[in-house]
Amino acid sequence: MIDFENPSFLKLRPVRDSKLERLIQPLLVPGEDIVQAFQSVRDGVVFTDRRVIAVNIQGVTGMKKSFTSLPYSRVQAYAVESAGLADLDGELQLWYSGGLGAVKFELLAGSDLALLCRVIESAISH
């Protein structure tokens, strides 16, 4: 399971056509689309149109990986903080039902927070 309290996991930069996207491709259900992918030094998070998939790369070689699926259908509330002048990072916080609680992502400059909010809102309002 991903350690969401680990600060190195939370500093995520947007990436396109990454190894991370190829890693999670077999986990996607038919019709599920990747919205945006983010990566820290080793770990990453992929937002799809249905869920968040967190990838934890483990071990010295990085061969061992764990995947955590966080469906939007379990989100009870969310909050977003956009980047400011002095702070270029944005934040997205999701509150999940079922004991997981709050999950916070610190997203570096270049993130499309408005798009993520629209996707999450669309998923939780249906």
CA distance 72 to 33: 14
118: pLDDT confidence band, cut at 50, 70 and 90?
very high
**pLDDT per position as a tens digit, 54-84:** 998 887 777 888 999 999 999 999 999 876 6
Domain assignment of residue 1, yes or no: no
Tokens linked to 74 = 């379990």
In a domain, residue 2? The reply is no
Number of domains in the chain: 1
Question: Residue 6 has what pLDDT?
Answer: 55
How many residues are recorded in the chain? 126
Residue 116 domain boundaries: 7-124
Q: What is the pLDDT of residue 59?
A: 75
| Identity of the amino acid at 73 | S
- Does residue 83 belong to any structural domain of this protein? yes
CA–CA separation, 59 vs 65, rounded Å?
Answer: 9
φ, ψ of residue 61 to 5 degrees: the values are -85, -20
**For 4-53, how does the pLDDT look when each residue is reduced to its tens digit (9 = 90+)?**
555 444 678 888 877 889 999 999 999 999 999 999 888 899 999 999 99
Could you tell me if residue 62 is inside a domain?
yes
Flag whether 115 is in a domain.
Answer: yes
Asked whether residue 108 carries a pLDDT value surpassing 90, the answer given is no
What is residue 106's three-state secondary structure? strand
Between 117 and 5, the higher pLDDT residue: 117
pLDDT of residue 25: 95
The answer to whether residues 63 and 42 touch, using CB atoms and an 8 Å cutoff, is: no
Q: Does any domain span residue 90?
A: yes
Is 34 among the domain residues? yes
Assign residue 75 the CATH number of its domain. Answer: 2.30.29.50
In this structure, what token pair is assigned to residue 28?
């996607």
Q: Residue 21: inside a domain, yes or no?
A: yes
Token pair for residue 95?
């509150």
Q: Collect all residues with Cβ–Cβ distance below 8 Å to 77 and sequence separation of at least 6.
A: 94, 95
Query: What is the model's pTM?
Result: 0.86
